[in-house]
Amino acid sequence: MASLTGKIVLVTGASAGIGKATAIAFAKEGSRLLLCARRLDKLQSFQQELLSAGAEAVHAFALDVRDHSAVDAAIAALPANWQKIDILVNNAGLSRGLSKLHEDDPENWEEMIDTNVKGLLYVTRAVVPGMVARGEGHVINLGSTAGHLTYANGAVYCATKAAERVISEGLKIDLMGTPVRVTSIDPGMVETDFSVIRFRGDEDKAAKVYQNITPLQAEDVADAIVWTASRPVHVNIHTVLMTTIDQANSMVLHRHS
């Protein structure tokens, strides 16, 4: 297991859910944490928790990954001692709505594509050249079982996660000949605010998604992320496809009676 102590880890969408759990998991490894999300106050609310957990240092900043110029400016403006990013966790992402494609609101498509695909590309483009120049680095992208098998009423979300999977594969090919690693972490059902966001705050509707199922927790996914990052530097874990024991794929679930 390679040491992650002192490694600079950038986590996007770090204010809650898998992003927050990932920050805590890297903190326990003694990493230096670069955290961004749209709401800076949410990041600052658990900064002391990260330091207490073992983070060597924490630097948080507000960023909407959908804004290309803002991404470039934010990465360029990082303090000198934070610029050598060792690990990038492209976690920022969301789903909106659960409707038939021909009946859906195109605004939902715009938000998902801009965040899940274009946002991932913007941050990757801003960070990876530095990794290549320094001869080290690891890009860890958050995918989904939805990128492997399309489910009803989720065509565009599934398409964004299929895009993430293909982008990860293509990036790894493009980085051949460099020591920079690329991993796609593809979880199934995870109990976070994902469904609350999808249903725009309808908590009752969101709760039914996890009814009579034992879902993954954000900490399970964070554990997989840290595991891939801690492999020896000559080892590249291309894809981690993970689900709860109650899920076979994005469509087949076992609900307890």
| Amino acid, res. 220 | D
> How many C-beta neighbours within 10 Å does residue 77 have?
10
Rg, the chain, Cα only: 18
- Told to judge if 157 belongs to the known catalytic residues of this protein, a careful annotator would answer yes
| Amino acid, res. 108 | N
| Amino acid, res. 115 | T
Q: How far is CA 79 from the centre of its chain?
A: 23
- What is the total residue count of the chain? 257
> How many C-beta neighbours within 10 Å does residue 187 have?
23
| Amino acid, res. 137 | G
Q: Which helix (H) or strand (E) holds 73?
A: helix 68-76
> How many C-beta neighbours within 10 Å does residue 131 have?
23
> How many C-beta neighbours within 10 Å does residue 177 have?
7
Tokens of 223: 């554990």
Exactly one of 122, 151, 157, 210 is catalytic; name it. 157
Give all strands (DSSP E) within the chain, no chain letters.
Answer: 8-12, 32-37, 57-62, 87-90, 138-142, 181-187, 239-242
Positions marked active-site: 157
